[in-house]
Amino acid sequence: MKIQRGVYMSGKFHFSPRENRAHEINWREWGEEAFKEAKEKEKLVLLSISAVWCHWCHVMDEISYSYKPNINFINDEFIPIRVDNDKNPDINKRYNMGGWPTTVILTPKGEILDGSTYMPDKTLYSFLAKTSRYYRLHKRKGSLINKKEMKNTESTLQKTNDINEEILTNIDKAIDIHFDSHFGGFGVEPKFFNVETLDYLIFRCFNKKEDMFKMIIKTLDAMANGAIHDDEEGGFFRYSTTRDWSIPHYEKMLEDNAKLLDIYLKMFQLTSEGKYENTAIGIIKYMNNNLLDTKSGAFYGSQAADEYYYSLAKEDRRIKVAPLIDNTIYTDWNAMAISAYTRAYYVLKDANFLSIAQRAATFLIKNCFNEEHGMYHYYINQAQK
């Protein structure tokens, strides 16, 4: 019998469940007040973007942000702001440096001077010192320029009423270029699921595209048979650091598993092959046992990475405390789960799946909907945001 999982009651600025000194940094929330303070004090902004499920975010808190010289230097020379990636996807989209944790140095106007992902303690100190010196020098000269260009996150969408075969053929060609014919999936490494692409492939399979059918079979089989898939508890880890799906990053996300549940159910509809049904049932098993809050009926957001726990043999893992769960309830991710469970009811003919979907939907309508403003992004500790 597995020891009951723990639920991580995440605080405003706490990301690692283990003891650390990152809280000694005087973190501010993202907002006008912090940037106003930076302008008045003529200080740079240190923006930290983290996630509760992210292993290297935990390490950075425990080492880099617990290193006393860094704590003192940040508090003296910067206005430190801390942002949760999942709760602030807009900020993450604009400022992320290619992964988590992200550390970005901003001017009081929000312009990027420099940034990086994980940095060890002394590397971080050197990075901060160099950026601070650069800012002081160029501020005096009146010639401050960005060391890295601002990332343009705005996209222009061309509206059209028709999606013709030519457009689909061009998409097919682009997918074919990036398809990994040896191990399935797209690109080399690190390798993510690219669920939207998988969904498109299934759509094309229903249109009798034989080459698309081979791609989706190769990919879904490789994922299900790889270490990216948790045979013991069901569900999928977030991504693989290797091309062959053999070394995963061990966090598990509601978003990923809800999307993949829908994909494997569609593939079972398409092929009637039991292996896809079994994978889908395994995902449901994982979500029910680990992410579903039986009291509220909604789904929690994620489960933290724990390489040691997942490296254990099955019989040893059963007696260990499972990685912590982030108890934040994200509206969009829950909507994905509701959609997937509704499909599970339709495909697998199990009324229990529909009941779970209905309870989660009822929770969102009751707690995350406002007639004037629409849907809130997330719900935590009886508060909407």
pLDDT digits (tens, 9 = 90+) for 265-320: 999 999 999 999 999 999 999 999 999 999 999 999 999 999 999 888 778 888 89
* Statement to judge: residues 80 and 122 lie in one domain: yes
Beta bridge partners of residue 112, listed in sequence order: 106
Report whether 3 contacts 321 (CB < 8 A): yes
Q: What is the pLDDT of residue 199?
A: 95
Q: What is the distance between the alpha carbons of residues 67 and 26, in angstroms, rounded to a whole number?
A: 14
Residue 163: pLDDT band (50, 70, 90) is low
Residue 81 Cα to chain centre, angstroms: 20
* Secondary structure element (H or E) that encloses residue 262, with its range: helix 254-271
* pTM assigned to the model: 0.73
* Statement to judge: residues 309 and 198 lie in one domain: yes
* Statement to judge: residues 205 and 84 lie in one domain: no
* Statement to judge: residues 284 and 180 lie in one domain: yes
* Statement to judge: residues 243 and 349 lie in one domain: yes
Q: Is residue 164 part of a domain?
A: no
* Statement to judge: residues 175 and 89 lie in one domain: no
Q: What is the distance between the alpha carbons of residues 7 and 300, in angstroms, rounded to a whole number?
A: 9
Specify the number of domains making up the chain: 2
Residue 233 token pair: 């508890």
Q: What is the distance between the alpha carbons of residues 38 and 324, in angstroms, rounded to a whole number?
A: 35
Least-confidence region, from 40-49, 254-263, 303-312 = 303-312
* Statement to judge: residues 99 and 247 lie in one domain: no
The residue from 141, 162, 190 where one domain ends is 141
* Statement to judge: residues 195 and 119 lie in one domain: no
Q: Is residue 380 part of a domain?
A: yes
pLDDT digits (tens, 9 = 90+) for 66-98: 999 999 999 999 999 999 999 999 999 999 998
Residue 133 token pair: 């010196």
* Structural domain that includes position 311: 170-384
Q: Is residue 373 part of a domain?
A: yes
CB atoms within 10 A of CB 256: 22
Question: What spatial distance separates the first Cα and last Cα of the chain, rounded to whole Å?
Answer: 37
pLDDT digits (tens, 9 = 90+) for 195-236: 999 999 999 887 777 888 999 999 999 999 999 999 989 999
Stretch 150-177: mean pLDDT: 65
Q: Domain of 41: which CATH number?
A: 3.40.30.10
Residue 299 Cα to chain centre, angstroms: 15
Q: Per the omega criterion (within 30 degrees of 0), is the bond before 190 cis?
A: yes
Q: Domain of 317: which CATH number?
A: 1.50.10.10
Residues 6+ apart with CB under 8 A from 274: none
* Residue corresponding to tokens 């896809």: 276
pLDDT digits (tens, 9 = 90+) for 301-316: 999 999 999 888 778 8
* Residue corresponding to tokens 């900020």: 91
